[in-house]
Amino acid sequence: MAKTSTTFFDPEFVKTPDFSQWQAEFTRAFGEFSKLWTNGKSANLDVNWLLSYQRKNFEALTAAHQRAFEGVQAIAKAQAEFVREAAEEMQKVAKEFVGTSGTTEDKLVKQTAVAKDAFETAVANVNELAGLVQKSNAETFEVIRKRVVENFDEVKAAFEPKVTKKAA
């Protein structure tokens, strides 16, 4: 019966890669690529188009990173505001508890109400943060999605046969 274990500790699973095979594949692929270039020129490749294509990709990635960074800033700002509000609320509650007298039951009821309000506020804050994260992710992904669609259109247009008009 054949052994089918694929765990990390199985010596058959962890084998040294065959670098000679990788080298052969690289050499073959580079040889195919070098056929495109004869005398330093390529009949099939428009270098200006390629540079423009990559520039647009870089611009899209830069815009996506900018959107992501703005999202992180908004989230950090919201978290700082939540912490500030919580600290103010804790001070207010602490002053109320220190200055009050009453039965243990009254204090317990008040503490329960404060805990309930704190929990509801925390849930609302988490929901707001989740909304900010979702908005940031959606904006960032939209930039990348648009560029990917443009990439498909550009590559398709680049490899479509050029139609030449004949004089009638």
Share of the chain above pLDDT 90, in %: 39
Residues 6+ apart with CB under 8 A from 53: 151, 154
Report how far apart, in Å, the C-alpha atoms of 97 and of each of 87, 92, 102, 104, 115 are.
15, 9, 10, 12, 13
For the chain, the structural domain boundaries read 45-159
pTM (2 d.p.): 0.60
CA–CA distance, 168 with 163 (Å, rounded to integer): 15
User: Phi and psi at residue 8, in whole multiples of 5°?
Assistant: -65, -30
Asked if 59 and 144 touch (Cβ cutoff 8 Å), the reply is no
Alpha helices in the chain (DSSP H): 19-34, 47-99, 104-159
- Cβ–Cβ < 8 Å for 89, 154: no
- Cβ–Cβ < 8 Å for 129, 75: yes
Contact at 8 Å (CB) between 46 and 158?
Answer: yes
Structure tokens at 25: 């594949």
Lowest mean pLDDT among 12-16, 26-30, 33-37: 12-16
62-121 pLDDT, tens digit each: 999 999 999 999 999 999 999 999 999 888 888 877 767 778 888 888 888 888 998 999
